[in-house]
Amino acid sequence: MKRPESYQFQTKLDARGDLSFLEELKDVPFEIKRIYWITGIPEQQVRGGHAHKTDEQVIICLKGQAQVILDNKEGEVFECKLDSANQGLYIPPMWWGKMVFSHEALLLGLSSEEFSEQDYIRKRDEF
């Protein structure tokens, strides 16, 4: 079973700002088929509460903070705080994810699959 992993992306720092970057199949372990982002997040907002059957993702908290808790069917738990724009979290298939965000956090998600509701497991007892 693939395991969650925290990534540190390369960043070019100078007086004009911090430029971070990633490339598919080099810095993330899949071809990126889909990108999504979440804005307007209220303080302490909880999102997630599902797993994916095949979709692999990398999430990046571009602004603010996200506390992420992942667990799998074997009862293994992976917990991680995303609070830097050059940090990413790899979420493999079949890991249940829950995220708690800070006010106005900005989340960017990279996905290995096109969107499909059929790929979601949303009921914990079906996990």
Considering only 22, 24, 27, 48, the residue that binds ligand TYD (CB under 6 A) is 48
Considering only 1, 2, 18, 36, the residue that binds ligand TYD (CB under 6 A) is 36
Note whether 34 binds ligand TYD by CB under 6 A.
yes
In angstroms, the CA 16 to CA 25 distance is 29
Note whether 47 binds ligand TYD by CB under 6 A.
yes
Least Å from the CB of residue 127 to ligand TYD? 14
DSSP 3: -
In angstroms, the CA 106 to CA 39 distance is 5
Least Å from the CB of residue 23 to ligand TYD? 21
Sign of the C-alpha dihedral computed for residues 28, 90, 60 and 116 taken in this order? positive
Residues 6+ apart with CB under 8 A from 68: 59, 79, 80, 81, 82, 89, 97, 98, 99
Note whether 29 binds ligand TYD by CB under 6 A.
no
Q: What is the largest CA-CA distance in the chain?
A: 51
Least Å from the CB of residue 17 to ligand TYD? 28
Let me know if 50 is a catalytic residue: yes
Catalytic, out of 27, 45, 50, 100: 50
Residues annotated as catalytic (active site), given as ranges: 50
Which residues make up the interface to ligand TYD (CB under 6 A)? 34, 36, 47-48, 50, 115
